[in-house]
Copies of this chain bind each other. A is one copy, B any other.
């Protein structure tokens, strides 16, 4: 087994280090974040740092890079208070990856990459029509992380749209059946292979499979 110290990692060329550190933390819930500005100009960004914060209230967070590196999504969320998160599937993975390119603010990534906006009456941010699992959020809090000038953006789930045959009798959404893509590192994408679901764990009791 190889050991890498902080000072060794620090000495690496920056792209090598970015690949290494970005992939170290494990598989990620990569998704497309849909927003619009106050004039209705739509924007779509690729984010892989989506994190479950809580179920009651239903809160979801994501890490936004420093403002100069990824300005449009955050600015739209701040000005309208609403955004959507859309799962990615193999049929448009290449388009989704392309949403990570730096387009100017006046360009909609939907047009550039060839995905379709979809609107719900009460939600001013666009969903991705092609996505099978998607949800809209209302901004609750933007928490600055001064350590590296990033932000934890937290929203409350306002609406969920999905093909409901993915929902199990106990509420679990079977994302494997939905062909939801996950990612690792900066540029690597995966489908999943189910290994098992287990009973709620209690001390001294071997957890049974429930699938």
Binding site for B on A (CB under 8 A): 1-6, 9, 12, 14-31, 48-61, 63, 85, 87, 90, 93-94, 97-103, 107, 112, 120, 132-133, 135, 140-141, 143, 145, 147-148, 150, 152, 154, 156-164, 167-168, 170-176, 180-182, 184-207, 210-211
Contact = CB atoms under 8 A, between A and B. Distances in A.
A184 to B, nearest CB: 5
Contact of A175 (B23, B51, B103, B143): B23
Contacts of A57: 147-148
A63 B53 CA distance: 7
A112 to B, nearest CB: 7
Contact of A55 (B18, B49, B59, B180): B18
Contacts of A185: 172-173
Nearest to A202: B101
Given A28-B27, A162-B1, A175-B26, A198 B94 contact: yes
A189 B182 contact: no
A119 B28 CA distance: 28
A184 B211 CA distance: 13
Contact of A172 (B23, B103, B200): B23
Q: Please tell me how many copies of the chain the complex holds.
A: 2
Contacts of A180: 26-27
A14 to B, nearest CB: 7
Nearest to A180: B26
27 contacts: A1-B161, A3-B120, A15-B171, A18-B56, A19-B168, A20-B167, A23-B173, A24-B133, A25-B60, A26-B31, A26-B182, A27-B28, A27-B175, A28-B29, A52-B63, A54-B150, A59-B148, A61-B152, A97-B201, A98-B201, A101-B202, A112-B204, A141-B147, A147-B154, A187-B197, A188-B194, A189-B196
Contact of A157 (B3, B21, B48, B147): B21
